[in-house]
Chain A
């Protein structure tokens, strides 16, 4: 895949930072306004999908390799679990909001709602990385017709 025309590439270059900022905004203020980790993660994944479409798969995978995406995916899930398990130690109960004592829920205050912003960040990492991975894996799959007219599935290897 070589990517698309110079018009698309230029527009993409102009809007990419805004898309990224919007995704981060949705994630970081997920506990205050509509949005949250999942929505923000989807927006960030869409940015990478747009870059992949505009510049081609090789270009995107050089900057954001598959193994890094896989690691971020696991890290996101792991952070979520760690936050949940820290509830054991500090609140005496799984998933308890142990930071709420220090950052109680206040309207429009960025540092509020205890552990929920942390959970949002973890979900954002997980969703962004895994949606990007799903896209890349499916874009790399090929169905090859064999001699006996059955189809064989093949995954193109990037590295």
Chain B
């Protein structure tokens, strides 16, 4: 299996170049080719469950050559990226009919998936930067795909802020290279393990934090997101919110801090603080929005706060030498919420896209009463809304519950953390309020005359949203011991090993 690891990058890149070459003549080719490519990637991602290994690219071994590393955390992210990627491809087949040059869209889309897969499997910090830029630049172009004033403005803002973030990351990589003489993640971890923290490394960690926070849209770094997500075409909004900010932001941050540079208690507290800030500010800004997709975008910021809170809490407890089980619970909550958010937030963006596809507007005040016209969309949107608000037994409930349990457990040692418990529950409540507003204004109430003739969304879009709704309902099953042992526990172990990552990867796992 480990021999197939480069295919995660090779398939999407090859499909992208072929689409750009061949598909302006045969229009269906782009649809079929992209669906086949992302479907193959999904199959490959499913095969990787429970496996790990190191792949030296070109036969050059670890400290000098570029390695691809597959471990529990990568497997989870590969499943999310390629799962949502496949569904977004299916959705795009119908949705993108409205736009011209669909093959250009699929080219960029596949490049973005290739970049994200690369970020997730690479074991080299500079390689990570390159893949991060591939995914980011493809996403800048995809945000601007509509070509109207609003799209271009959002894309330009995203471009500027994203480039500043990338600049921070590149500078941090340069500093780490200067301090250790290594670019391989395992090599850096080996060089840093057992030594005192160099001041340069602390500075580099802060730069990494700033850069990846821009990509993950945590609160002081978030302004690009509420513009970029509503402007992009719906499948791209779903990819950006469901996958991109996780693979490029949270995954890369957690990987670099836990496994490469080493966590400190202070750093854990800063990450937790960013998480709490994102949670509260995001949800407060979301409540007052009247644009469907902009409201969802602010909720993305808020929900990413949950993920980062869980991961930061785990980082804090591990680094200050606390109870490893509590740290594991916190990490489990963060990682499970990461997976759950990918499912329900992409579903919400797909639903918003379906509504916009049929009605032509996404302003909540202009919508209303379309529940009889679009019953499937209504049902799936309700599932996703309840899921994001944390109503049992949908998936969002379980991850939020675990985060709350982790904060309470941690509060036995650090009583101040009880504040986090209160904030977590309160934010969840405000989330529920704002999604009741969405359901009320979009689906209930009087049907405007303009919408008398609308129909349910086309076949491929319907398939996508129904399968995501099933996923939302069923993802709580990930906590069943068998599934947990196969998918979630390896991901947590990969983070908990800390700098031990270095010696394990150099030994070939």
Q: Is A159 an interface residue (CB 8 A)?
A: no
A75 surroundings in chain B (CB, below 8 A): 17, 21
Residues of A within 8 A of B24 (CB): 67
User: Is B167's CB within 8 Å of the partner chain A?
Assistant: no
B17 engages A77 (CB within 8 Å): yes
Asked whether any CB of chain A lies closer than 8 Å to the CB of B43, the reply is: no
Distance of A73 Cα from B13 Cα, bound (Å): 13
Question: Least Cβ distance of A82 to chain B in Å?
Answer: 8
Contact of A94 among B6, B18, B20, B152 (CB under 8 A): B6
The answer, yes or no, to whether A84 is at the interface (CB within 8 Å) is: yes
The proximity string for B residues 29-42 relative to A, scoring 1 for CB distances below 8 Å and 0 otherwise, is 00000000000000
Q: When A93-B58, A94-B58, A96-B58 are in contact, do A81 and B14 touch as well, CB less than 8 Å?
A: yes
B198 contacts the other chain (CB 8 A): no
B51-86: which residues lie under 8 A (CB-CB) from chain A?
A: 55-59
Are the C-beta atoms of B13 and A81 separated by less than 8 Å? yes
In the assembled complex, which residues on chain A have CB atoms less than 8 Å from the CB atom of B149?
Answer: 150, 152-153
Q: Which of B125-171 contact A (CB under 8 A)?
A: 147, 149, 152
Q: How far is the CA of A150 from the CA of B24 in the complex (A)?
A: 34
List A contacts of B57 (CB < 8 A). Answer: 93-95
Q: Considering the complex of A and B, which 9 residue pairs feature the smallest CB-CB distances, nearest first?
A: A94-B6, A95-B58, A78-B17, A74-B20, A74-B21, A74-B17, A77-B17, A96-B59, A95-B57
Q: Is the CB of A87 within 8 A of B10?
A: no
Q: List 27 A-B contacts (CB under 8 A).
A: A67-B24, A70-B20, A71-B20, A71-B21, A74-B17, A74-B18, A75-B21, A77-B13, A78-B21, A81-B13, A81-B17, A84-B6, A84-B10, A85-B10, A93-B58, A93-B59, A94-B6, A94-B55, A94-B57, A94-B58, A95-B6, A95-B58, A96-B59, A97-B58, A150-B149, A153-B149, A153-B152
Q: Which of B21, B24, B55, B152 has the most CB of A within 10 A?
A: B21
Additional A-B contact list (7), CB under 8 Å, known A74-B21, A91-B59, A93-B59: A75-B21, A77-B13, A78-B21, A81-B17, A94-B55, A94-B57, A153-B152
Cβ contacts under 8 Å, A93 to chain B: 56-59
**Which residues on the A side are within 8 Å of B13 (C-beta)?**
77, 81
Closest to B18 in A: A78
Q: How far is the CA of A95 from the CA of B147 in the complex (A)?
A: 38
Q: State which size class the interface on B falls in.
A: 10 to 19
CB-contacts of B1-34 with A (<8 A): 6, 10, 13-14, 17-18, 20-21, 24
Residue of B nearest to A82 (CB): B14
Nearest B residue to A77, CB-CB: B17
Q: List chain B residues, Cβ under 8 A from A150.
A: 149
- For B58, the chain A residues whose CB sits under 8 A away are 87, 93-97
A93 — nearest CB in chain B belongs to which residue?
B59
In the complex, per-residue mask of A88-123: 1 if CB is within 8 Å of any chain B CB, else 0: 100101111100000000000000000000000000
Cβ of B22 to closest chain A Cβ, rounded Å: 9
Contact of B59 with A81 in the complex, beta carbons under 8 Å: no
A94 to B59, CA, bound (A): 8
In whole angstroms, what is the CA distance A78 to B56 when docked?
22
* B10:A78 contact, CB within 8 angstroms: no
Closest to B20 in A: A74
